[in-house]
Structure 1
């Protein structure tokens, strides 16, 4: 009922999973990850706690192949499908003998794709090929694989939800929880496309792409990003117009005053002096 991809980026050590399904909120059910430990996909009719159990096994030094083999022997999980990737790139997967057709998994270098109740046997090979051919960072490559799976038919029942989770290859700390990306589309007619849009929006926030945020951020904040974008361009008139529009809204003047020390607004203030 689901198709997913888990992978490690050998250049950065990041670990990630992208998944889509015709169930509500697949991001709640399938992906599990722990920075510096690994990432797990638990699909079909697997026990709900299996993902965390597998991560605990990885944290204790377990080998993915051994953990998958042990889980595969659980009689109550004949319809389960699991994939496990550790922080060094070791990967293993298993599709239970009772899993829904078309079902299966394919392993690659620090990579696994898996799915059940697929519309076509071409879904998983298309995902592997797309991931291998894609450029960009790990989230982009995971999304390329997920998109290829959807284009090849995806879930035979249709589309509803998707998720993208990427964590660091090193353990979390007090300063950094190690979660680089955690995006979910819980209910949509085209969840993979919506997930790509969210990833692009996240990129705009991360890279301070104020021109993009001025168009696609929540409506109440667009004037702020328009002012910041105009500041980057050195456009004093556009900065003033955006700020004046913001000041017409209740509470925004006090908010701007409170943000006076924010480095992002320093350029805006200089333009208006």
Structure 2
């Protein structure tokens, strides 16, 4: 760590044409005791989306760890480097594999030993490449797992079992990519966490195929800073964003069972959209109330649908309603069609 006492140099530019790295200004006040996190980086070739989910101690994680676009996602950790992340994005855009891009960055960054980098690239033909490197100067409590469409990496954790638990949680999860990324973070929390505690988190997913891509490539953007309930709040914020901004995914449909039906009608009743009995049934009046709520509060309409005789509803929407801040939602009005 002596080199950091003299000032940390970062790679300023890794231009594809010149294949050169330039040193930037030093950052002598970086505190290595607070640098540690866990993350999962993944792409979905069916949804054609890529994203990063990460949770850690220090605030600012949303600006330090995740970088990406609809066809590639990058997590830069321990001593994060925006220059390294941008170099990986540039090289994968030029046709390099995810591992090739990471390896190149490690070969030219003079402080690669203090980096932990993960990248996942979604190719136009639907294939996925993954890449990961951890420098030797990372904390001893580190791990990494590479799957076919994802990478899990962590450092400064309470257990090296963290990466395996997150990988298993991701693979076992159902639903859209954002939902599975969240499941991976939850699975990791069951075996340990950041040695400083987990107080901040981010889930960011990019997509060019979701209907929302007409307006934005950011499918999900959930951020929590300095909270003692960071993972719980991240769950709430992610579902609020996905339910409000993104078009629904078939993979996120869940049965509208009796308890879900009752809770949805309870929220619609409190907001003035529903005037009937708050029971476990579902009829045309209930569907109209849900439509009216959708029209006033969501970017995309999310009605219930019947699949193989089973009525289903969007899971992010249900989670959104369960944790709704009713004061932040528009109540029923005469303007509702």
Residue 46 of structure 1, CA deviation = 3.0
Equivalent position to 2:286, from 227, 230, 233: 233
Q: Which has the higher helix share?
A: 1
In structure 2, the partner of 1:66 is 100
Equivalent position to 1:34, from 69, 79, 90: 69
Mapped to 2, the partners of 1:203 and 1:172 lie a distance apart of 12
Residue 12 of structure 1, CA deviation = 1.3
Mapped to 2, the partners of 1:196 and 1:127 lie a distance apart of 16
In structure 1, the partner of 2:113 is 78
In structure 2, the partner of 1:160 is 199
SS at 1:97's partner residue?
A: coil
CA contact (8 A) 1:2 1:20 kept: yes
Cα 1:22/1:213, change in 2 over 3 Å: farther
Equivalent position to 1:177, from 187, 202, 216: 216
Q: Does 1:44 align with 2:78?
A: yes
**What does the per-residue CA deviation read over 1:138-195, in whole Å, with 9 as the maximum and x for residues that have no partner?**
1111111111112211111101101111111559999332211111111211211111
CA contact (8 A) 2:87 2:105 kept: no
In structure 1, the partner of 2:38 is 3
CA contact (8 A) 1:43 1:80 kept: yes
Mapped to 2, the partners of 1:172 and 1:96 lie a distance apart of 39
Cα 1:202/1:228, change in 2 over 3 Å: farther
What TM-score comes out, normalization by structure 1 length?
Answer: 0.76
Residue 72 of structure 1, CA deviation = 1.5
Unmatched runs of 5 consecutive residues or more in structure 1 = 216-221, 240-251, 267-273
In structure 2, the partner of 1:16 is 51
Cα 1:213/1:101, change in 2 over 3 Å: farther
Mapped to 2, the partners of 1:58 and 1:172 lie a distance apart of 25
Cα 1:214/1:21, change in 2 over 3 Å: farther
The number of residues matched between the two structures is 238
What TM-score comes out, normalization by structure 2 length?
Answer: 0.62
Cα 1:61/1:194, change in 2 over 3 Å: same
Unmatched runs of 5 consecutive residues or more in structure 2 = 1-35, 249-259, 277-284, 293-329
| Large movers: runs of 4+ above 4 Å | 169-174, 206-215, 229-232
Cα 1:52/1:199, change in 2 over 3 Å: same
Q: Does 1:103 align with 2:135?
A: no
**What does the per-residue CA deviation read over 1:15-62, in whole Å, with 9 as the maximum and x for residues that have no partner?**
111000111121111001112x31000000132332222212222222
Equivalent position to 1:87, from 122, 143, 167: 122
Cα 1:234/1:115, change in 2 over 3 Å: closer
Cα 1:213/1:9, change in 2 over 3 Å: farther
Mapped to 2, the partners of 1:213 and 1:191 lie a distance apart of 29
Mapped to 1, the partners of 2:174 and 2:166 lie a distance apart of 14
Mapped to 2, the partners of 1:172 and 1:183 lie a distance apart of 19
SS at 1:196's partner residue?
A: helix
Q: Does 1:144 align with 2:183?
A: yes
Cα 1:97/1:156, change in 2 over 3 Å: same
